[in-house]
Structure 1
Amino acid sequence: MPAFIVATVSISDMTAFKEYSKTIEGVSEKYGGESIVKGSITEMLEGSAPEDQRVVVSKFPDADSAKAYVNDPVYLDGKAKRKGAAIVDMRLIVV
């Protein structure tokens, strides 16, 4: 069954966040990941979120592939570089 990683991202240090982005470039594709949505929230229709929050949605063939992506050593290296640069909440959704 397809699996989606849905992440909300609030960036506080764009320079460090760009280093993270460069580091993880191409890693999700290694596990069949495909970027579906990547952008800033245009308007809150219900609830609340930080004004500059971004949303990233990636589709994977299955939950194991999505989990393999977030446990890949290159991703983990990037995640370490991201520390203090952004608040990231990541969800796994299997449909």
Structure 2
Amino acid sequence: MTAYAISEVEMLDETQGQRYRELAAASIARHGGRYIVRGAEPDVPEGNWPREQRVVVVEFPSMDRLRRWYSSADYAEALAIRDTALTRRLLFVDGV
């Protein structure tokens, strides 16, 4: 079953953010993932949404592949700079 990583992201540092995006994108591709939404500013018909936050949705073939990507040495380099590049809320969900 398809699985999705959904992120609510706020950039803290554009230079570090660009490096993070490059590293993350390469690791996602190597683990069979693909971006569905990348850095979108959502239209918010209900509720509150901070203007500076963006949305990212990445699709993986399965929850197992998503979890393997997240804990991989491939993605570790991106995670090492994440805290200086951005803040986020990250969700893993199964598709239907």
TM score, norm. by length of structure 2: 0.87
**Take 2:49 and 2:90, find their aligned partners in 1: how far apart are those partners?**
15
Q: What amino acid does structure 2 have at the position aligned with 1:25?
A: A
**Partner residue in 2 for 1:67:** 67
1:38-57 map, 5 Å: 38-57=38-57
Q: Residues 11, 90 of structure 1: CA spacing in aligned structure 2 closer, same or farther, 3 A cutoff? A: same
Structure 2 spans left out of the alignment, 5+ residues: none
1:56 counterpart letter in structure 2: V
3-state SS of 1:18 partner: helix
Aligned to 1:86: 86
Calculate percent identity across the aligned residue pairs.
Answer: 27
One-letter code of the match for 2:5? I
CA separation of 1:21/1:8 partners in 2, compared to 1, >3 Å: closer, same or farther?
Answer: same
| Mapped contact 1:40–1:52 kept (Cα < 8 A) | no
Please tell me the residue identity of whatever aligns with 2:18: K
Q: Write the letter of the residue equivalent to 1:55.
A: V
More helix by share: 2
Could you tell me how far apart the structure 1 residues matched to 2:18 and 2:70 are? 18
Alpha-carbon distance between aligned partners in 2 of 1:66 and 1:58, rounded to the nearest angstrom: 9
Question: Once the two structures are superposed, what CA deviation does each residue of 1:39-58 show, in whole Å capped at 9, x if it has no partner?
Answer: 33243211112102111111
Q: What RMSD, in angstroms, separates the aligned Cα atoms of the two structures?
A: 1.4
CA distance in 2, matches of 1:23, 1:37: 17
Partner in structure 2 of residue 13 of structure 1: 13
Runs of 4 or more consecutive aligned structure 1 residues displaced over 3 Å after TM superposition: none
- Residue 75 of structure 1 aligns to which amino acid in structure 2? Y
Count of paired positions: 95
